[in-house]
Amino acid sequence: MSEEKITQVPLELDLSGLNCPLPILKTKKMLSALESGQLIHVTSTDSGSFNDFKYFCEHTGNEMISREERESKYYFLIKKK
Q: Which of 1, 14, 16, 20 is catalytic?
A: 20
- Closest by CA position to 10, among listed 32, 42, 44, 33: 42
At residue 5, φ and ψ (nearest 5 deg) are -75, 130
Q: Is 57 a catalytic residue?
A: no
Cα separation, 4 vs 29, whole angstroms: 25
| Maximum pairwise Cα distance, the chain | 32
Question: CA-CA distance, 40 to 35, in Å (whole number)?
Answer: 11
Catalytic residues, by residue number, are 20
